Structure 1
Amino acid sequence: MLFNSLDFAIFLPVVFILYWFVFNGNLRRQNMLVVAASYYFYGSWDYRFLGLIVFSTVVDFVIGNRLRTIERARGRQLLLGLSLAVNLGLLGYFKYWNFFLDSFVEAFRFFGSEISADRLEIILPVGISFYTFQTLSYTIDVYRKRLEPAGSLIDFAAFVSFFPQLVAGPIERASNLLPQFYRKRNFEYAKAVDGMRQILWGLFKKVVIADGCAEYVNLIFDGSSDYPGSVLLIGAVLFAFQIYGDFSGYSDIAIGTSRLFGFNLMRNFAYPYFSRDIAEFWRRWHISLSTWFRDYLYIPLGGSRGGTWMKVRNTFIIFLVSGFWHGANWTFIVWGGLNALLFLPLLLRKRNRSNLEIVAADRLLPTLPDFLRMVATFSLVTLAWVFFRAESIEHAVNYLSGIFSPSLFELPGRSMLKGVAKLVVLISFFQALEWIGRREEFAIARFGLSWWRPLRWAFYFTLILSVLYCSSDQQSFIYFQF
C-alpha cells in the first residue's frame, strides 16, 4: 500500500477514527488496533511475508525476556548471538543469497575455472532491512541492560510492525518508540495539524519533485549511451533530487502520520543538500541509519578512540557496510567506498565535526565561502549517486566518462530542455521553501503561520492541487527495494 495511493487515503481515516473514537481510553485495544492495521498494511504488499515479521517478533520478544532472567555473561551472549543469527540470517537469505552465489561463481571464473550454480527465485520482502535493524536495536539494548524487556507481546508487536515507518523507516530505536506504546496517549489537535502539514510536505516531495524527476532520470540512465555529457549531467542532478524527494518525502509522511496517533518518531533528514562538507551531509542524510551504525557498529569497533589506522579502518567498515545494506550489488559497495574516501580527508585533518550548526543560522543568505562549499559538497554527492543509480559498475563508469567528455558542452535537445526547464522551476521553488524553513524540523512547519488566513490556505491548497495534478502515475518509493 503506497502512501500516495487511494487505498491509503481510505485506510488512514478508518484507522484514525477507530483509534480515537472507538478505542480511545483503552491503551491495550489501541495497541491491538495498531498491530492489526500494521499487519493489514504490510499484508497488502504480499500477505505471505507476514509470517516473517511475526516470527522475528516472537523470537526477539522471547529472547528479550530470557535476557531479563539470565545474568551469566556466556548465557547472555548466546541469546544475543541467536537473535543476530535469526534476524541477519533471514536478511542474508532473502536479500543477499543470489549476490553471494553470483560473486562465488565470478571468483572461480576469474581464476580460470567454470562452475555452474542455479540462482534461486527469491522475492525480497519489502522493508526487511528496516524492521530487521529495528528489532536488533531492541535485543542489543536489552542485552546491554540499557532497556527493560517488553512485558507485553502486543506492545512489542506494535513497536516492530508500526505501519507508518514499517517498510522504509525511520529505523526507530526501541528506547525511543517502544516506551510510547506503554503510555496513555491523548489526542492533541495542534500535534495532529502539524502532522497533517508534514504529510502534505512529504507528498509534495514525493509526487511532485521525486516522481517528476523520475521520468527523465529513467529515460537518461536507461539510454545513457545515446546522450551527450550535458544530458548525462542533467540526469545525475535530477536523480539527486529524485532520491532526496522520494526518501525524505516518505520519512515526512511516516513522521506526520505517527503524530496523528500521538507518537513521535525520530527525524530522518535535516536538509542534507545544504551541507558544507561530506561529514555534515552524513549527519543530515538518513539520520536513523547513520546513527544506528554509529551506535551499534562504529563505537563497538573502537570508534575514533584509537590511532589513525583504527579510525580509517572503522570509517571504511561503516561506509562499506552501509553501502551493502542498501542492496545486493557491487555498485552500492563502491558507492559506500567513494563516500568513505570523500570523508577521509576531513577525518585525518580532524575537520569532520566543523559544521555542526545549520548553514547561515542567523542570516538570510549564506556567505560566499559557505555557498561554494555547499555547491562542492552537492557536486561530489551527485557524482557518487551515479553508482547508486547505475545497473552495474561498468554502467556507472561509462556514465561518468560520458559526463567528463567533450560532449558535456553540447546543448541538449529542445524537447529535453523544455521538460527539464519545468523541473528546474519546481526544484527551485522546493529548494527555496527548504532554505526558508531550514531551521525547522520540516520546511513548512511554520511557513505562513503568521500570514492572513486566506493567504495561508491558498498556499496549502496550491500544494494539495499540485500533488493531485501529479498523482496520475503512482510510483513506488525507491527505498522499498531495500
Structure 2
Amino acid sequence: MLFNSLDFALFLPIVFIFYWLLNNRLKYQNILILLASYLFYGWWDWRFLSLIIFSTIVDFSIGLALKKTVDLNKRKYLLWSSLFANLGVLAVFKYFNFFIENVSNAFSFFGADWSMSSLNIILPVGISFYTFQTLSYTIDVYRGNLKPTTNIITFATFVSFFPQLVAGPIERATNLLPQFEIKRKFNYEEATDGLRQILWGLFKKIVIADNCALYANYIFENSETLSGSTQLLGALFFTFQIYGDFSGYSDIAIGTARLFGFNLMQNFAFPYFSRDIAEFWRRWHISLSTWFRDYLYIPLGGSRGGTSMKVRNTFIIFIVSGFWHGASWTFIIWGALNAAYFLPLLLAGKNRQNLDIVAKGRLFPHVREGIKIVATFSLTVLAWIFFRAESTPHAISIIADIFSNSLFSTPYYAGLGMAKSTILLVLLFIIIEWLGRENQYAIQKLVKVKSTGLRWCSYSFLIFIIGVYMFTDRSQFIYFDF
C-alpha cells in the first residue's frame, strides 16, 4: 500500500478512529496496529508476510533465550543464530543472483566453464529495513542494553509497525519497543504536527520527486544521445528526486506515527545544506548511518586505531552501506566513492567540525559556508550518478560526457521545455527547506505564524499543488526496491 494512494487515504483514518476508540486499552490497541500493519504490508503480496513473521518468531525466541542464560558462549551462539537467520533470508532474496553472476564471470575470466541457475524470485518490499530493525533488538539484548520483552504481540507490532515498515526510519528497539509497552494518550498538538509533517512529505514525494523523476529517467535512459550539460541536468533532477522521495517517505512515516502517539527518530536533517561529506552523512538517512556506526563501525574499532585501521573501517562501513542498497557494483562504487570523500576529513581530524546548523540565526550563510555547501553538493551529485546509472560503464560514460566540452552547451532534448515548471518548483522547495532548516522538518514553524490567514493559505497552497500533481505519473517510493 503506497502512502500516496487512495487506498492509504482510506486506510489511515479508519485505523486512526478505531485505534483511539480503544483508548486506555493498550493490549487491544497493539493488536489493532499489528493487524493493520500486516494488512498494510500484505496489500503488495500477502506471501511475504511469512518472512516478517519468521523474523519476528526467531528474534523473539532468541531474546527470551538470552534472558535465561549468562553463559557467554551460549549467548554468542544465540546472537550468531539470529544474524545467520535474518541475514541469510536477506542474502537469498536480495544477493543470491548477484553472487552467482559474479562467481560465474570470475570462472569465465580464468577460462573455466562454471554455471549455476539463478533464482526467479521477487525482492520483498522493505526487507532490508525490517531485517535491520529486528536485528537491533537481538544485538541490544545480547549487549545488555535492553531487557527482552515477553509479550509476542508487543514485539510483533514493533517489527511490523506500518508507518515505517517498508522504508524506515530503521528504529532501534531501545527507542520504539518501550513505546508499545506504555499507555498512549491522544495529544491534539502532536497529532496536528503529525498531519503537517505528512503534508510536507506528500509535497516532497508527489510534487518534487515524481516530477523530477520524469526528466531524470528520460535523461539517464537516453544519455548516449545527449550532451554533457543535459546529462548534468539529469543528475541534478535525480539528486532532488531521491531526496524528495526518500525524505518525503520518512516525513509521512514520522507524521503518521505521531497520529498514534509514537515518536520516531528524525531520518533527514536538510543534508543538501551540509558543509562537508561528514556532515552530509550525519544528516542523510540518519537511521541507517547510525545503525552501521553502532553495530558495525564501532565494533570493528571505529577510529580508535592507527591510520590503516581507520582507512579499513571507513571503507568497510561505506561499501557495506552501498551494498545494503542493492546487489550491484554501482552501489558498491557509490559507497566506496563516499568513503574516499570522507576519509581525508577523518584522517585530518575534521570530520566533526560542522556539528551545528549552518548559518544558524542568520538568513544567509557566509561566503565561505556557501562555497563549502556548493562543493559538498557537487560531490554528492557526482556520486548519485553511480547510484542511478544502469551499470558501471553507463555511469562512467555519463561522467565522461559531463566533463567534456559539451558541458558548456545549452541543455536540450525534445520535451525539456516542459521541465521549466519543475525547476521553479525545485527552487521554491530549496527556499522553503532553507528557511525551515532549524526545525525537524521545513514547514514545522508554520504553527508559530501569528496570522491564521497566512498559515492556512500556506496549507491550502500545498494541498492544492499536491492535488494538481497527485494523479499524474504516480510512482512507488524508490527505497521500496532496497
The two structures have a TM-score, normalised by structure 2, of 0.99
Residues in 2 aligned to 1:468 and 1:150: alpha-carbon distance in whole angstroms:
43
Q: CA deviation at 1:112?
A: 1.9
1:47-86: CA deviation from partner (whole Å, max 9, x where unpaired):
0010110111011001001100101001101100110010
1:363-412: CA deviation from partner (whole Å, max 9, x where unpaired):
11000000010000000000000000011101101111111111111212
Residues in 2 aligned to 1:382 and 1:432: alpha-carbon distance in whole angstroms:
19
After superposition, where does 1:130-279 map in structure 2 within 5 Å? 130-279=129-278
> Which amino acid is the alignment partner of residue 424 of structure 2?
V
Pair 1:474-2:478 in alignment = no
The equivalent of 2:11 in structure 1 is 11
Q: Is the 8 A contact 1:360 1:366 kept in 2?
A: yes
The equivalent of 2:374 in structure 1 is 375
Residues in 2 aligned to 1:362 and 1:449: alpha-carbon distance in whole angstroms:
16
Q: Is the 8 A contact 1:319 1:340 kept in 2?
A: yes
The equivalent of 2:87 in structure 1 is 88
1:93-115: CA deviation from partner (whole Å, max 9, x where unpaired):
00000000001001111112232
Aligned length: 481
Give me the CA root mean square deviation.
0.9
The equivalent of 2:387 in structure 1 is 388
The equivalent of 2:290 in structure 1 is 291
Pair 1:70-2:69 in alignment = yes
Q: Secondary structure at the match of 2:444?
A: coil
Q: Is the 8 A contact 1:437 1:447 kept in 2?
A: no
The equivalent of 2:448 in structure 1 is 449
State the percentage of identical aligned residues. 63
Residues in 2 aligned to 1:209 and 1:86: alpha-carbon distance in whole angstroms:
39
> Which amino acid is the alignment partner of residue 383 of structure 2?
A
Q: CA deviation at 1:415?
A: 4.9
1:238-262: CA deviation from partner (whole Å, max 9, x where unpaired):
1000000000000000000000000
Residues in 1 aligned to 2:104 and 2:386: alpha-carbon distance in whole angstroms:
23
Q: CA deviation at 1:421?
A: 2.0
Residues in 2 aligned to 1:297 and 1:423: alpha-carbon distance in whole angstroms:
40
Q: CA deviation at 1:362?
A: 2.2
The equivalent of 1:45 in structure 2 is 44
Q: Secondary structure at the match of 1:147?
A: coil
Q: Secondary structure at the match of 1:45?
A: coil
The equivalent of 2:362 in structure 1 is 363
Residues in 2 aligned to 1:244 and 1:422: alpha-carbon distance in whole angstroms:
19
Q: Secondary structure at the match of 2:448?
A: coil
Residues in 2 aligned to 1:448 and 1:89: alpha-carbon distance in whole angstroms:
47
Pair 1:398-2:413 in alignment = no
> Which amino acid is the alignment partner of residue 312 of structure 2?
R
Q: CA deviation at 1:202?
A: 0.2
Q: Which one is further off, 422-431 or 138-147?
A: 422-431
The equivalent of 2:417 in structure 1 is 418
Residues in 2 aligned to 1:314 and 1:67: alpha-carbon distance in whole angstroms:
29
> Which amino acid is the alignment partner of residue 274 of structure 2?
S
| 1:39–1:414 Cα change, 3 Å | closer
1:271-327: CA deviation from partner (whole Å, max 9, x where unpaired):
000000000000000000000000000000001111111111100000000000000
> Which amino acid is the alignment partner of residue 2 of structure 1?
L
Q: Is the 8 A contact 2:223 2:231 kept in 1?
A: yes
Q: Secondary structure at the match of 1:446?
A: helix
The equivalent of 2:348 in structure 1 is 349
Query: Runs of 5+ in structure 1 lacking a partner?
Result: none
> Which amino acid is the alignment partner of residue 291 of structure 1?
T
The equivalent of 1:36 in structure 2 is 35
1:398-448: CA deviation from partner (whole Å, max 9, x where unpaired):
111111111111212375552232122101111111111100000000126
Residues in 1 aligned to 2:121 and 2:321: alpha-carbon distance in whole angstroms:
22
Q: CA deviation at 1:451?
A: 3.7
The two structures have a TM-score, normalised by structure 1, of 0.99
Residues in 2 aligned to 1:470 and 1:110: alpha-carbon distance in whole angstroms:
50
After superposition, where does 1:12-27 map in structure 2 within 5 Å? 12-21=12-21, 23-27=22-26
> Which amino acid is the alignment partner of residue 198 of structure 2?
I
